[in-house]
Structure 1
């Protein structure tokens, strides 16, 4: 079975400059040794070229990026994600993170059918555009591999999905040699796809007919591109390094059409699940949830896939609403903000808690009402816990309150010290020795309080000293100050 490298995925999706941005994921899947990684490296070349009009101009530049080579043995294993997301401006003007994924080729001699299906399913469910890499022609068995997704789509529709469960599926036909029937590119590819998906009431078997009907209802867009053979040197020369001069010109010409159409910013849109656009942070949660159900010995049922999607959907939404609360509260009393009156903090907490819960209620969710209610409860608990933290951190910023204990102790020490001097001066030595006791007691308490507060140790001892100081402050110092103030007022009246 496959294992998710969470640390590697975290380093890509949870970067500070990426995690809160919406994502677009382009993935490629299909049979092994059919040039998937080779094609993705042209994607990288296009994305790394500043002047897009020159990206195919230099015939001497070797191809770099995802590992690939000519030969009969597989090169890619599992699912690989390019480690550097590309920040691009989407069609709506918003900056999003574009992520490229490469997948292990299916149907090699070392991969089980279940593993092949797992790779294809994961990449399809997580991608904005899934490129289905097919050799020579679009045949019935290629469509049969999509049966799992049509069943998932049927269940999703019955469960009240607000949109089609999958986004864009591009059938990329490699080494197309029937140009006289259907020309290279999108136009010829669309004609071929329409022909293959056509339903003839008389000739089409009911099972094949249902497959086609459900396939169209599962994906937002189904389209096809016909790509010619790149040349024998590409396929057989072990020293081939991707230079354009060694590739057949018709292949290069079609790349000039295919790649910009997929990667031009005007054509890119954020990944959506159930009508909700995903951020990099939420995509990370979907990866984790999906990997759990695909780690068993058998391929999960479509129902399990749907339940996993519902779980990831609710987890992602809880996290988004929690982040909304966190961001708003940080502006009021977060790190770097000054002390705020306690009632103001509580009012802000209640206001933004209500906003977060309202946001959760209004956003499209998957799963039963009871299941969504459970996540609503989790969100409420998480926000209340954060509210307690904000109250505590805000209280810690109250300088006057924090300095109350040492100030009182120092004041008592000063008073005791002055009185001992006076009593010693007038010859009242027994009283002097008596007054030294509160002086040294306060000195010991002050030193203990400072050391423990700095070290963050023994909070119980600190609390005892604080309580004793509060008692002295309220029972002795406050009445004394009030009495002196009254005497001063009488003096002023007289």
Structure 2
């Protein structure tokens, strides 16, 4: 039996033979980058590929290749195509003189692939009697870290391809380095954020494909040497920094299975000859040998990994749904913006500087008007606030930070907002310790009543009964207002009436009594009296109580 079943192509109205051939197998862009740094889903292309009547209800294996740009991802995928198109033939590499065709590739330093490409033909691979064949989908992805892509674009493409694939090939150059693991951590975490937390391992199989491996005397080419290298790179030891341990634990927690394959360099003609067209005869023998080991290892029926979600097999139609759901999540703006390592470090530096400046403000203001300090007049409080705020701002600006002044502007605003919130708290706490302010209303009402009583007595002695009645009325109103105010304040009922009485008492103080007090008592003496009384009347700190 042929390893790959043929899919009958149904001609469309007005379609010629060339168009039918193109539809049988060609790269189609299914995810396209847009100008606003998001990605658009090409539903028409996806539906054409995945809803074909022969494959739509078949379990699907999605093989994707991702990694840095200009590292041979598309070149490798075309050998995957050759293997699948050979339908199980031992000599699947074919004619040594034949050009390599399929996914677009070329030599040079500029990127070739943008977005995500999918091969338009889905290959049906039989699995034996009584079992549905596996629909194999090949995907090519835009390379990471080129000069035209942001971190968000790179993270989105890598994360989306990892989320929909069952086999993700992480294409690396020469070695597995620490920055390769850091990028993998960033991209997989961005993908994991978009998935519901089910408690299961989110992604399936990851294979580290190390190209141009130059140390076969340490770890031999192929799967065996690669797995030994991978085990060493992901090893966790007691001497490692916590950051390195966390990185390795994260990667292990993201994939159900991981492996590594070491490939030799394909040869100088492949790398430097602009006329190279992918002919086998122009490649080094070691490279061709490694191809013959790698490709069948991934694509033989017994090695294929079917896409699963929550232990349920995903069909081609289900894969289309996954693309729709995941792309909407990334377009919704609900996920945080991924950052470069420089941005993350600069953010941490600036937040630390904000914390130091905020602590300085709180520490100084605590000593001036904190819980254990007495009341200070409003003008002194405002002066202390302004001077301390200037010191805090100066400390923030003088602290060495990464990112430059432009990057720090946002954190200056954050510090200003934090200081303003602290200012409101300290002002409320200071005002609450002002005995004169708290007792102003009852003092004014009692003073009014006392004055009315004095004048009433004088008018009675002088026989001025009308004025005496007026004074007694004022006396009664004063004490009645005092009783109503006290009841409202201590019972919580009739707060509106108490507020009106407070307002009337304040106006009475400002118009009648304050001018007289200011005439005979200096402001500094009055402030000192207020502070002394407030300090004496302030609650005893808990530490003092314990000592007592």
Using the size of structure 2 for normalisation, the TM-score is 0.52
Q: Is the 8 A contact 2:145 2:151 kept in 1?
A: yes
Alignment RMSD, CA only?
2.3
Residue 150 of structure 1: CA displacement?
5.9
Q: Is the 8 A contact 1:29 1:120 kept in 2?
A: yes
Do residues 134 (structure 1) and 172 (structure 2) align? yes
Counterpart in 2 of 1:253? 289
Residue 238 of structure 1: CA displacement?
2.0
Do residues 173 (structure 1) and 205 (structure 2) align? no
Aligned length: 300
Deviations 1:16-71 (A, max 9, x none): 11111110000000011100000000000111113421113521121110000011
Counterpart in 2 of 1:52? 89
Counterpart in 1 of 2:55? 18
SS in 2 for 1:38: helix
Do residues 77 (structure 1) and 114 (structure 2) align? yes
Do residues 230 (structure 1) and 273 (structure 2) align? no
Residues of 1 paired with 2:91 and 2:188: CA distance?
A: 41
SS in 2 for 1:54: coil
Q: Which runs of 5+ in 2 are unaligned?
A: 1-37, 339-548
Residues of 1 paired with 2:133 and 2:58: CA distance?
A: 7
Counterpart in 2 of 1:8? 45
Q: Is the 8 A contact 2:194 2:329 kept in 1?
A: no
Residue 153 of structure 1: CA displacement?
8.9
Residues of 2 paired with 1:157 and 1:79: CA distance?
A: 20
Counterpart in 2 of 1:146? 184
Residues of 2 paired with 1:155 and 1:59: CA distance?
A: 46
Q: Is the 8 A contact 1:174 1:227 kept in 2?
A: yes
Q: Is the 8 A contact 2:63 2:138 kept in 1?
A: yes
Residues of 1 paired with 2:258 and 2:159: CA distance?
A: 17
* Structure with larger Rg: 2
Counterpart in 2 of 1:113? 151
State how 1:285-300 maps to structure 2 within 5 Å.
285-295=321-331, 300=336
Counterpart in 2 of 1:263? 299
Q: Which runs of 5+ in 1 are unaligned?
A: 303-494
Using the size of structure 1 for normalisation, the TM-score is 0.58
Do residues 280 (structure 1) and 316 (structure 2) align? yes
Task: Say if 1:296 and 1:141 are closer, same or farther in 2 by CA, change over 3 A.
Answer: farther
Bigger relative contact order, structure 1 or 2, given CA contacts below 8 A and separation 6+? 1
Residue 205 of structure 1: CA displacement?
1.2
In structure 2, which of residues 222, 233, 240 is the aligned counterpart of residue 196 of structure 1? Answer: 233
State how 1:23-422 maps to structure 2 within 5 Å.
23-90=60-127, 93-148=131-186, 151=189, 159-161=197-199, 163-202=200-239, 204-295=240-331, 300=336
Q: Is the 8 A contact 1:150 1:211 kept in 2?
A: no
Deviations 1:202-232 (A, max 9, x none): 2x11122122123212211111000011112
Q: Is the 8 A contact 1:231 1:247 kept in 2?
A: yes
Task: Say if 1:158 and 1:287 are closer, same or farther in 2 by CA, change over 3 A.
Answer: closer
Task: Say if 1:236 and 1:101 are closer, same or farther in 2 by CA, change over 3 A.
Answer: same
Q: Is the 8 A contact 2:209 2:263 kept in 1?
A: yes
Residue 145 of structure 1: CA displacement?
1.5
Residues of 1 paired with 2:58 and 2:136: CA distance?
A: 10
Task: Say if 1:196 and 1:20 are closer, same or farther in 2 by CA, change over 3 A.
Answer: same
Q: Is the 8 A contact 2:62 2:139 kept in 1?
A: yes
Residue 300 of structure 1: CA displacement?
4.4
Counterpart in 1 of 2:455? none
Residue 268 of structure 1: CA displacement?
1.2
